[in-house]
């Protein structure tokens, strides 16, 4: 009896191993390539989580890898800061030539970031860690992007103004904080100052606009939707919802549609989720502010490839490469979406 | 019924106090939302209740939800399999998972904790591998299928109020489960073996078969829950979908009167337990309590509820002792 069970377990393990070797070529297969294959340097592209946004970023990183002759290892930490730290340590252990990272909690990750900077070439992308020893930052100015988002909210609500509820995955991240602050400052008509911080949990009242609160879901998609539902239930005359991470607006949109409040509650988005873009074309999403993750990946790897070969001239002036954000509304959504599809198609450039 | 009184009291207390403080709580829209989420989590909780009644545990529920939740849109959207075969295939996978758990626990005599913990890791990893970590979703299509999760059925004679379709599904499952547990001999076997497996085996019950059945039901309902969750949420992240849901399910089952030592439990209690959890989440948002306190408040209220329930039971036991000293049995160990 037991003999047959062991045979069965062993056989299933073997067949699993077989499945693995038959894996289709992709990021996983790339990362299995030995780091020292030929004399090609190997650089890493580390994200802050798993999202379609990062799939586009990885495509840009891989394209630059082909163009500038480096191996690219993409790492997407599924479980937050602890996972990201482990992945960076593993990369350092394998002697990686350069790391581009989107730090999840920059203020508290200085140790691991400096460790990486000491043993490899470290740059930040998407979200900056200004207090670490990173060589440069590739990304957009999140505070300005937040102000852009605020302009969209103003356009959506019109002269009358109204109440606004914010939704975001996590507020520990610098990019989330800056976007939120830029948005609030724009709505309150304040002078630009990216060091200001209004703590969440209290209403912020301006002349025309009221920012009710900021809801965080810690990347739980189900929770993101139920938080939007709860906001609709609690504030019957809610004017506008803003989703600050890529997956937030589609969840808000679902909640708005199920409540039959299309048009009554305006929705302003961030990033370029397919559902968000479709929502703009359908007229249920007013507009979105998009970054350029493809370019983040591409420029990060281009800089790391240069650094790995000892070329310091690739570093941008002032340690900041600005890849600015854009506003997408009904006017330019179709065109933007087409470009995006071209970029993300297999083999697309 | 008596066992569920404590938890029902807790549910009513939370509902009444929230309704008193927030006029939006009892609006149709909000009640329908809470009912939907309660039903989805309730389905998982009913499943795990069967396993808990046998004295076992299933930690893999969240990962099974993740796996089946990814598998369905993957089959439908990426592989263009027709909806009926897709659902059948997904249910078959959950069935196989349940059988595997049951086999390893009864025939190989492995501990349920270990078997299902490994399941938790394996199913999550497998889901992330076959999807390549790409978010899965139904897009704007499959409206008919999504009706199972987001559909609303009008309540006759009550305008403006609807019953969410997941509630009807959950209610059907709950009634079937309650009949199975209370009205069939197999349900009694299940409870008997949970209290004392050896005694049950010596009295001629096929305990292995019953335990296997419990794990089968649990995984099957986790799979069904996974399908409904994915239809409700629409975009499913392989790495995070369903994460932690086993603990919500277990908490609801225990809150509803299932003893982790086995042999006790009621389906109605489990459903009410699931409702308490969802109402608490909702109340925190509606009342404007800082969301950072969410887990702290839920933990505190549940603990208070369980302590209250225990005190009521002891009081009742003491009264019985005083009332009929002749038949008094010593109270259970405190």
Model confidence pLDDT, tens digit, residues B246-297: 999 999 998 888 888 888 889 999 999 999 999 998 898 888 787 778 889 8
Chain B residues whose CB is inside 8 A of the A275 CB are: 137, 139-140, 234-235
CB B60, CB B249: distance < 8 Å: no
- Determine which helix (DSSP H) or strand (DSSP E) holds A205, and give its type and residue range: strand A204-205
pTM for this predicted structure: 0.76
Distance CA B176, CA A118 (A): 63
Q: Which residue of B has its CA nearest to A55?
A: B134
The closest CB to that of B291, out of A51, A216, A220, belongs to A216
- Strands A266-270 and A209-216, bridge-based pairing: unpaired
Model pLDDT, residue A5:
52
Query: Burial level of A25, CB count in 10 A (0-12/13-18/19+)?
Result: exposed
Average pLDDT, chain A: 86
- Comparing alpha-carbon positions, the chain B residue that sits nearest to A170 is B292
Q: Where are the domains of chain A?
A: 26-139+293-325, 142-290
Which tokens sit at A120?
Answer: 């490899």
Angle at B227 between CA B226 and CA B232, to 5 degrees: 95
Query: Residue A271: left (phi > 0), alpha (psi -120 to 50), or beta?
Result: left
Determine, for residues B239 and A78 on separate chains, whether the beta-carbon distance falls below 8 Å: yes
Best mutation target among A78, A222, A274 (most B Cβ atoms within 10 Å) is A222
Among B225, B254, B257, which residue's Cα sits nearest to residue B241? B225
Q: Which CATH architecture has domain A26-139+293-325?
A: 3-Layer(aba) Sandwich (3.40)
Homologous superfamily (CATH) for A142-290: Response regulator (3.40.50.2300)
Same fold, A26-139+293-325 and A142-290: yes
Domain ranges of chain B: 2-14+24-316
pLDDT beyond 90 at A186: yes
Smallest CA-to-CA distance from A339 within A268, A277, A246 is with: A277
CATH 1.10.1740 for the B2-14+24-316 domain, yes or no: no
DSSP 3-state helix, strand, coil percentages of chain A (rounded to 5)?
A: 50, 15, 35
Residues A187-229 pLDDT 10s: 999 999 989 999 888 899 999 999 999 999 888 889 999 999 9
CA distance A37 to B288: 57
CA A315 to chain B, closest CA, distance in angstroms equals: 32
User: Residue holding tokens 């085996």?
Assistant: B201
Contact residues on chain A for B119, CB-CB shorter than 8 A? none
pLDDT (0 to 100) of residue A237: 93
Q: How far apart are CA B105 and CA B120, in angstroms?
A: 15
Q: How confident is the model at residue A37 (pLDDT cuts 50, 70, 90)?
A: very low
ipTM over 0.95: no
Give, in degrees to the nearest 5, the angle at Cα B274 between B125 and B53. 75
**Percentage with pLDDT > 90 across chain A:** 64
User: CA A111 → CA A103, A129, A133, B127, distances in Å?
Assistant: 12, 11, 10, 33
Asked if the Cβ–Cβ distance from B235 to A275 is below 8 Å, we say yes
Whether B23 contacts B286, CB under 8 Å: no
pLDDT digits (tens, 9 = 90+) for B73-103: 999 999 999 999 999 999 999 999 999 999 9
Nearest by CB: A221 against B233, B285, B288? B233
């Amino acid at each position: 009896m037991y003999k047959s069970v062991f045979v069965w377990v062993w056989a299933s393990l073997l067949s699993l191993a077989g499945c693995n070797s038959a894996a289709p070529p992709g990021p996983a297969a790339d990362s299995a390539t030995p780091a020292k294959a030929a004399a090609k340097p190997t650089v890493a592209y580390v994200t802050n989580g798993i999202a379609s946004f990062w799939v586009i970023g990885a495509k840009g990183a891989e394209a630059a890898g082909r163009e500038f002759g480096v191996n690219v290892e993409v790492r997407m930490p599924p479980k937050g800061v602890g996972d990201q730290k482990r992945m960076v340590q593993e990369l350092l252990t394998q002697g990686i030539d350069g790391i581009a990272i989107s730090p999840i909690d920059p203020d508290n990750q200085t140790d691991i970031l400096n460790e990486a900077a000491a043993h490899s070439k470290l740059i930040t992308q998407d979200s900056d860690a200004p207090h670490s020893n990173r060589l440069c930052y590739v990304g957009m100015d999140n505070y300005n992007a937040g102000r852009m988002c605020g302009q969209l909210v103003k356009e959506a609500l019109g002269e009358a103004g109204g109440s606004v509820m914010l939704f975001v995955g996590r507020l520990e991240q610098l990019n989330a904080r800056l976007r939120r602050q830029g948005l609030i400052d724009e709505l309150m008509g304040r002078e630009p100052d990216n060091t200001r911080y209004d703590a969440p949990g209290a209403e912020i009242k301006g002349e025309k606009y009221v920012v009710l609160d900021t809801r965080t879901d810690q990347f739980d998609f189900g929770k993101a939707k139920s938080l939007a539902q709860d906001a609709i239930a609690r504030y019957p005359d809610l004017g506008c919802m803003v989703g600050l991470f890529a997956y937030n607006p589609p969840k808000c949109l679902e909640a708005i549609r199920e409540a039959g409040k299309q048009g009554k509650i305006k929705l302003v988005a961030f990033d370029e989720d397919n559902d968000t873009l479709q929502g703009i074309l359908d007229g249920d999403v007013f507009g979105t502010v998009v970054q350029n993750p493809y370019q983040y990946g591409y420029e990060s790897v281009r800089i790391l490839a240069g650094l790995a070969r000892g070329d310091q001239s690739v570093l941008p002036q002032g340690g900041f490469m600005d890849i600015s954000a854009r506003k997408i509304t009904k006017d330019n959504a179709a065109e933007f979406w087409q470009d995006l599809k071209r970029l993300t198609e297999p083999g697309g450039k | 019924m008596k066992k569920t009184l404590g938890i029902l009291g807790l549910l009513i207390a939370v509902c009444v106090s929230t309704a008193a403080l927030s006029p939006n709580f009892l609006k149709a829209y909000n009640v329908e939302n809470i009912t939907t989420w309660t039903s989805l989590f309730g389905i998982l909780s009913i499943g795990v209740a069967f396993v808990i009644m046998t004295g076992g545990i299933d930690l893999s529920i969240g990962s099974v939800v993740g796996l089946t939740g990814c598998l369905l849109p993957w089959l439908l959207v990426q592989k263009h399999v027709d909806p009926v075969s897709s659902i059948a295939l997904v249910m078959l996978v959950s069935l196989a998972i349940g059988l595997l758990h049951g086999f390893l626990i009864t025939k190989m005599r492995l501990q349920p904790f270990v078997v299902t913990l490994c399941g938790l890791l394996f199913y999550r990893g497998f889901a992330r591998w076959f999807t390549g970590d790409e978010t899965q979703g139904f897009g704007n299509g499959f409206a008919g299928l999504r009706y199972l999760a987001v559909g609303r059925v009008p309540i006759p004679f009550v305008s403006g109020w609807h019953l969410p379709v997941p509630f009807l599904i959950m209610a059907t499952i709950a009634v079937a489960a309650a009949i199975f547990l209370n009205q069939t001999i197999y349900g009694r076997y299940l409870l008997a073996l949970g209290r004392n497996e050896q005694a049950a085996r010596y009295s001629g019950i096929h305990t292995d078969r019953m335990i296997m059945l419990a794990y089968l039901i649990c995984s099957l309902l986790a799979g069904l829950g996974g399908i409904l969750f994915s239809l409700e949420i629409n975009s499913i992240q392989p790495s995070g979908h369903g994460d932690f849901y086993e603990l919500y399910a277990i908490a609801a089952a225990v809150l509803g009167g299932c003893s982790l030592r086995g042999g006790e439990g009621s389906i109605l209690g489990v459903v009410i337990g699931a409702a308490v959890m969802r109402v608490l989440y909702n109340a925190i948002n509606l009342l404007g309590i800082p969301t950072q306190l969410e887990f702290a408040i839920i933990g505190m209220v549940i603990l208070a509820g369980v302590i209250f329930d225990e005190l009521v039971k002891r009081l009742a036991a003491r009264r019985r002792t005083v009332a009929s000293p002749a038949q008094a049995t010593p109270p259970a160990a405190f």
